[in-house]
Chains A and B, each alone.
Chain A
């Protein structure tokens, strides 16, 4: 299944967000997720299903003003 992760197409096998994140190598504790523009809390990743073409944003702490 192809999904868009931070604007880049990726192939994932799992349809569960938490599993797909591990599959893609995103294992940091200091990151937040949004699916198709909606915030998905850490606790909800295990129960969030992915579908073909979903847009997943994974954000992390960065310098800011």
Chain B
């Protein structure tokens, strides 16, 4: 899978928030096989606590994808992206511009505007968006080479609320990497996303808030691999009625 100019082999991208401890976070990253992890920027304290977390992230040897989580305007998101580029020394940015505080639904209008500003400034933008085709087109026009549609609201664990829309995205954006971001709750949700032809899954809460995050990270990795393999294997078409799998030919007349 190619994301901008980088070849990535793991199709699981992992968030770093809400784990019971830093050690569990590191365990989960390793078990997941993720090559990309998401991080954020928050207010620093005078004791420099952020530097300690950054050191921990380096131990994972993963590529860092900083986010603009919590930004509600174009200006906030653009400023946060610039701050992230300096701190994390990367031009990758997971762009979030939130429209509603309760649903955390993206403000797609502001998202497109911020994506254009940041792409023009050399950022490689990973936009957290809805499953709307027209918005996806606008984001690509703005310079995005990846789309990250939601499966369900962030942190809800509801799975894919609209698989049909994701299927339509796959058909419409055949050459654009599509990453389901948000809403995955269980391994089967991730498998379904991959069976629909998504290129990758980004998840956080489903692993961090599992009773055993390390085990769930492993389960998610396997689920994603299985879903991808299933998609590549071209599943059979569904049928409305039963069709015998054992041949009728040669069936004895015993009645």
Contacts and interface: CB of A to CB of B under 8 A. Distances in A.
Given A24-B46, A26-B46, A59-B41, A65 B84 contact: no
A34 B86 CA distance: 12
Interface in B167-226: 204-205
Interface string B139-159: 000000000000000110000
B129 interface: no
Contacts, number: 114
A51 interface: no
Interface string B19-46: 1000001000000000000111111101
Contacts of A57: 43
B42 A59 contact: yes
A1 interface: no
A32 interface: yes
Interface of B: 15-19, 25, 38-44, 46-51, 53-54, 57, 66-67, 69, 75-76, 79-80, 82-84, 86-88, 154-155, 204-205
Interface of A: 6-7, 24-34, 37-39, 41-42, 57-65
